[in-house]
Amino acid sequence: MTFESPPLEPDPYLVALDEVAALDTQIARLSAVRARRVTAARNHLDRQAPVDTSTAGPQWSTARVERVELITELALLTRRTEYRAATLIDTSTALVDRLPATLAAVAAGTVSWEHAEVIAKHADGLEGDALATYDARLAVIAVEVNPKQLEKKARHEVELAQPTTAVERAEKAAATRRIYVDPAADGMASLTLFAPAPEIHAIADRAVRLAAGLKTGGDPRSMGHLKVDVLTDLLLNGETSIPGATRGIRGRVHVMVPAMTLLGIGEEAAILRGYGPIDPATAAQLTADATSWRRILTDPITGRILATDPRDYRPTAAMIDHARLVHPECVFPGCTVPSEQADMDHTEDHAYGGDTIPENLAPLSAGHHRVKHHTRWQFIQNGDDTLTATSPAGHVYTVRPEGRMQPAPQALIKATAAVAAAATTITEEEDLADCPF
């Protein structure tokens, strides 16, 4: 009599890993399909040939109008930032139009979309045989390395293909330097400095040296915390050496604190302009150090900020401040540019009868202000601090105010009304008592 042992059950850990790898392959294949669809959308828009809709100032070319409309459409439709939408468009069109080997590798699932972004980014400026050689080599290399490793290899391949253009490419890349802020959880945020590599490495080295000196001196903080703290101190309190720059400039933040919260009897969160709700302890520290205060009246029923400034041809300082309080960020859907850095736009163009009143003013970043005037984007104020934005493709988005306090509780409104009514009754009785008849 023979006995057969039952088959071994597959290790669930290994099964899960294999499933992740299989899903990544599917995602890559779908990314190739998406690249073709994005490129098709660009081609269809190109055939529509949208023109500049502005009536004054420098006119945009059809190509620029097309690109801006496509970026803004895709960003909102896919819930991407405009930067990521632009990257999606540029990578997709590069793969479909210029990088057939890389596109084939993505479609086969052997190369990820992240790899494709690296290859497409560094292919910019390559043409002819140099482009074909680069495409073929990187499509093979990408199978064996991760995207960060691929970055170095892509730069090396470009140098081999076009060594004489290194200076021009470096100058072009330097023109894209920027900083941007990304909010995080629990009162934190990230500041990204995108700049030439020598400066970035020098900044990091200085942070390490300053932190190491403090550590040697007995500072109990970790090296990681010290590096952050010394850089923060330098940025906030150091002085620039750039000729012509104003000295003594210090960073400012704006915090909106409900009076009841400030008095310690309310629970509504304080609002840090450009970030959102912050914890009570941080709010208390910021208000304790505040250099100036401004009282803002709100409607107890709706929570809407009240404004009583008269109409004027140009927005008054109070009107501008009101619009920025209602909308702490640019009102273009998805934009996070702080309103202090934005233009003050007449939602209904003043040239076409739009009044200079709080209900017709809203902050638009300089870039989105141009988008509104040069493309087919349309904006309407709804009278309750919300705006309706309609994209060139007909998609509708509602922009809601962030700078609004919560309405007063109904119980408080009723109690206040009761006190007022009682006071009125007492006054009437006193008046009757004084009456000689």
What is the largest distance, in Å, between two alpha-carbon atoms of the chain?
124
Give me the pLDDT at residue 432, please. Answer: 46
Global pTM reads: 0.68
- The DSSP annotation for 238-294 comes to ----STTPPTT------EE--HHHHTTS--PPEEETTTEEE-HHHHHHHHHT-S---
Q: Write down the mean pLDDT value for the chain.
A: 82
pLDDT band with cut points at 50, 70 and 90 for residue 436: very low
Instruction: Give the SS3 label for residue 397.
Output: strand
pLDDT per residue as tens digits for the range 173-185: 788 888 878 878 8
| Inter-residue contact 227 to 242 (CB < 8 Å) | no
Give how far Cα 152 sits from Cα of 5, 157, 196, Å: 52, 9, 15
Of the ranges 59-73, 171-185, 322-336, the best mean pLDDT one? 59-73
Question: Is pLDDT above 90 for 112?
Answer: yes
Give me the pLDDT at residue 200, please. Answer: 84
Q: Which strands sit side by side in the sheet containing 255-256, from one edge to the other?
A: 255-256, 270-272, 276-278
- What one-character DSSP code corresponds to residue 378? E
Give me the pLDDT at residue 260, please. Answer: 64
- What one-character DSSP code corresponds to residue 358? G
Give me the pLDDT at residue 308, please. Answer: 42
